[in-house]
Amino acid sequence: MQDKPVTLAAVTGAHGVAGEVRLKLLGEGFEALKPHKSFNEGALTVSKLRSDNKGGAIARFAEVADRTAAEKLRGTVLTVSRDALPELEEGEFYYSDLLGLPVMTDKGEAIGRVCAVENFGATEIIEIEQPDGKKFMVPLTEQAVPGWDTEKLTVSSDFVD
């Protein structure tokens, strides 16, 4: 997991006509994004970055000349090398550490993979995609998710349909 890049934001679309993009911030928000001057192994270089005062950000990248180019970035995730980030405390994690992990019930039944991690204000929510393509969400609380490690995530069977 040490060499796996960490996702800090995602481009949600163009902002204006000069090539700026709107960003959805993940994890610690704008303050965690500010120190980074490039993303995706140097493919995107920040020339301007500001908070949008709504929990997101507006960015301008040197490589993006206009709105058309900015629109093409929609859906692009912005990653940095893990070693560019502060050391994690005990029990802390990056959302990207959970993405793709197999999910088991506390009874040992395989039920799918983590396909998304969101935070809508109260707590983190994990989205699990089952083998048949159906998805469901579980709060990332000790009651619902009694354990996880680098190999799998365990969900209480009380939270599984």
pLDDT at 96: 78
Q: Is there a contact between 12 and 19 (Cβ–Cβ < 8 Å)?
A: no
pLDDT digits (tens, 9 = 90+) for 7-45: 889 999 999 999 999 999 876 778 888 999 999 999 999
pLDDT at 70: 97
pLDDT at 5: 85
Q: Which two tokens stand for residue 67?
A: 């709105």
pLDDT at 35: 92
pLDDT at 2: 55
pLDDT at 130: 93
Rg (CA), the chain: 17
Q: pTM value? A: 0.71
Q: What is the DSSP string of 26-72?
A: -TT-HHHHTT-SEETTTTEEEEEEEE-SSSEEEEEETT--SHHHHHH
Enumerate residues 6+ apart whose C-beta is below 8 A from 11: 21, 22, 23, 73, 74, 75, 76, 77, 78
Which domains, from first to last, does the chain contain? 6-84 (2.40.30.60), 95-159 (2.30.30.240)
Could you give the strand order of the β-sheet that contains 56-61, starting from the edge strand earlier in sequence?
A: 38-39, 44-51, 56-61, 20-25, 6-15, 77-80
Residues of the chain with pLDDT under 50: 1
CA distances for 66 relative to 9, 18, 61, angstroms: 20, 5, 10
Q: Is there a contact between 80 and 36 (Cβ–Cβ < 8 Å)?
A: yes
Q: Are strands 77-80 and 6-15 parallel, antiparallel or unpaired?
A: antiparallel
Q: Is there a contact between 59 and 40 (Cβ–Cβ < 8 Å)?
A: no
pLDDT at 30: 86
